[in-house]
Structure 1
Amino acid sequence: MTDSRPELSIIAPMHNEAGNAARLVEEIYGVLKDRSHEIVIINDASTDGTLSELIAAKETVPTLRIVAHHRNAGQSRAIRTGVLAARAPFICMLDGDGQNPPADIPTLVDALIAEPDGTGMVAGRRVGRQDSEWKKTASRLGNGVRKALLNDDADDTGCGLKAFRRDAYLLLPFFDHQHRFLPALMKREGYHVEFRDVGHRPRMAGQSKYTNLGRLFASLSDMLGIMWLNSRARQPGGWDEI
């Protein structure tokens, strides 16, 4: 990897993803090896073999960077760490469990790059979701409630595959679980958000870090916070230096 800034940074948070980590990194590199990129994996204090897998993957993936948290800080903080470490103006994030197919990365990134600066994000919308019926039902319910309350136009905010402008993300207020509300926060800052259909596949190894009930209780309090933030948002309609 050269010292020049890449065009694109891929970020993926991982916590205890042994069995998925190296496979995912190698797959991302296979998709992007012919374009300027870096892969930034945030190891969120894993206690299994995730870090060892990632270190070994550096032998075959020259664009891989590993950023390691000293303590487990959760998915939203890991994403923020990745964005802060990233060197490219365009970022695409995806889940570290491998359920987001890397083949869909160019679909979102190319759409984002082609849009004017007013588009801050192009987010994935899972088609043929490979989860349990209970999980899909809970997700549909949660998405419906969130969409009605926040007016974020997102049918599937739980999809981890999202492309966005680094500078736009850094303007957003940060809090734990922020990653679930990125479309709403982008809109609050005045950016346009687009959505594209992407694939989804079963988890190959490890276990999900979330439960439906745990996610529901956290989301309810978070949505009240976002509603308060939205009520305090004021946009200047652009600005000029005179």
Structure 2
Amino acid sequence: MVWKRCFIFFGIVCFGIFLGNGKVECSDSRVVSCKNFPDRTVLLTFDDGPSSATKEVLDALKNENASAIFFIVGEKANEREGKKILKLIADSGHMIANHGYKHVTMTKLTEKEQISSLDKTNSCIKEFQKTVLYFRPPGGACNNILKRSVNSLGMKIMFWNVDPRDWKKNDCGARPSHSALKERILKGLEDQGHKGIVLLHDIHLNTALAVPMILDALKKNGYSFMKPEDVLKYQKASK
């Protein structure tokens, strides 16, 4: 029975599960890690845009001199308004990254379909940014085929380890209050050793309006903001 328990534990660790606030992944050079980030360092990430609420997020980040990565959905970015927002993101000094052309479970696509989705999204991004470094799978669903597809286009996969669940509505149909989001992020970072990649969604106005409070709370608790262009530097340190 001991060997069975060991086998089960090994399987859980290596294939990754959702545990606590975020996605747990085994060591893989194709996947970004925050384990070597400096103490009390946060990388802010926003998924599912571009949207009209993205502008509110950009204003808040500018006021606090903070940088972020925006994981965009290609079909939204390909629209006229989406292109305008991508230009705003790039002109504001933030990084744009890939979240697939449509917000679908990428592991359900064939490898050819995965690469097509990734490539089409990269084409949207490259109108405003020379290279695309990262991909985040919608819902965190990932396997070795998807990792291979992402890697073939020169990108790494970035998950997260702090998720305040800003997307989830309560029984009354309301999303979390600004204060609740702030407290969930602070608690999540504490649980993760005071360093992490925070997942938020700039498609929700409620989230966008909470960003000033979140940034202020992070700074007051001694956190600094990781610059997106510095992330790879801390991946090299882990090898």
When normalised by structure 1's length, the TM-score is 0.31
Q: Where is the helix percentage greater, Structure 1 or Structure 2?
A: 2
Q: Please give the TM-score of this superposition, normalised by the length of structure 2.
A: 0.31
Q: Which has the higher contact order (CA 8 A, sep 6+)?
A: 2
